[in-house]
Structure 1
């Protein structure tokens, strides 16, 4: 008999259907002549109840099954007299695949997030984390569907890179050398004997490569892992995370902001429609206002706010911030939360930042003081998307790189793209995990990644 997933049995099963399921025992309770097993196979939040009567040949083994044990069940779907379920399985045969040891750490109680992180290999078996990673899977598919419907081409950008997109220097070095070379009199290190013949790192972004392809294919996007060697142990940072990065040719900053808003709303709408059962657990146990918060984002236009005006609002707010708002400095998380939560009470797109605080590739505005950059801010999370119109003018791009002390020879290929048929183009990056935090109300990035990589933690 072909195995059925519990999700399809619960949704589509009818009385008198003969079914076979495989899964893990969540609970077991015994009566005089029956044993009641709650079985889950990870396909959905709900368990299915299995009735095992004493006539089964291995009943003596069944009544000793513990939580976490794996089984196969063949039997008949019957009407259930119990609450919260329409059907249950009257077992005709139960196969015991693997018994769980007595020290199985997941018992029928709420465990702390800290404890569950220490057993990340088992936490997907809990209701909350099973739901989280099903949602993660569905949203990943939705991202691909969105860009496919928009006519974008999916691009696989390199994970190993010889350039630093953001210029921050917080990158993981890759080397095959037993000993790193010593710096010469100018401070440079000779990596010519290394595998690639030069210094290489794990990428922090696929943007630069995406730009090159946008100038050939029109609209492209990347979606993959990125890495940052930032020694930060906050709830918002991880050393390995996933980024969604669309890049559009013949697109200005206004078009970039429009796509970012539409993209966010598409994913939230998708989640509310397609993942509502798994989202329910977060509404119940994490944030009771979660769904109304998400619906509020859907039902309002995002405010467009120049950076200069944002700083003015912060300064004149009368609120005491840990970081004093000041023109020429980047907005801090507390500033972003004030703008979205207290002042506008909704999403805000801040744009036209001072060029002194932004990377070299952002297009310089006519005032020669600001760049066509934008950040999408949402209540309680702060920045969730960052993007810009890219600098398509070769002479101005070179001046920017010179002013920032960059070695243009290392970016010869990037500059070439401005020499041969350059066009206005724009893009943005959205941290996948940051979006999942917004979607589920989760406050720690470690709880939306299957196996989080943070300073001092590379287990599993």
Structure 2
């Protein structure tokens, strides 16, 4: 048992009365003990009422059933009657997720803390504090969070929330970019992508230092290639390198990984940030032996007027989709991006 604070969204939820039931024991001679043991107490009590258990007759009359119902209601052996002016309390069992794994956490909320009808719809979001407890005799869920304090509730309208429990086509999810990570498919892809990106960055952080790479500009690389008889007639400033030229630089000239940066703007995307010289952009290619270009990276152009000018140079309209995508990324403050090869 330990305290926990969490921020989650609700995948599913249900509300249940938090009242105790006391059922009369059913010992029907016509029902084998091993079968009786598998029948929930509430169903056994109903069976006793309907079939007239403990009576010699197998069929109880309607009057007999009504009499038994009346006697149980007044006997005090079943659920307690509510105190006048007070409603019976209930609890909500919420299956919540923060997207970090495929499984959900069961969160238990008492009705004294919040309006449970606001919590149970799929898509609601909650910020809570509570105590993590082990669930006794649990089969699927081993632990649950018993909520002690609700810090925030974000409600969701069930009639408008688009992420339902049914299987949703990917074409449909494209219309809800901000919500689709809540689906199992997209969240799984995101976790795989995160793991791969983390492993890649960790590798380079641990095994590669700045001294392991040779850093040269595109212009310097062109000068080196032009001095080689094999490439002197095949390369001019403003042309992109081919695979043979890239491998020549990394395997024969420097013989180690290298970074080529500041490429001519005409061979890179218009969305890359224009350098002060007006002819090159803030780009980079990582070259490694036996492969060539392993990955590329760039800084996005954050100056609206420069973006507009670049579109005019290329004859593209301001409503061009690439421009809209670039502008949306800038609004999210994602200035740098990397491209895998």
TM-score, structure 1 as length reference: 0.29
Determine which structure has more spread, i.e. the larger CA radius of gyration: 2
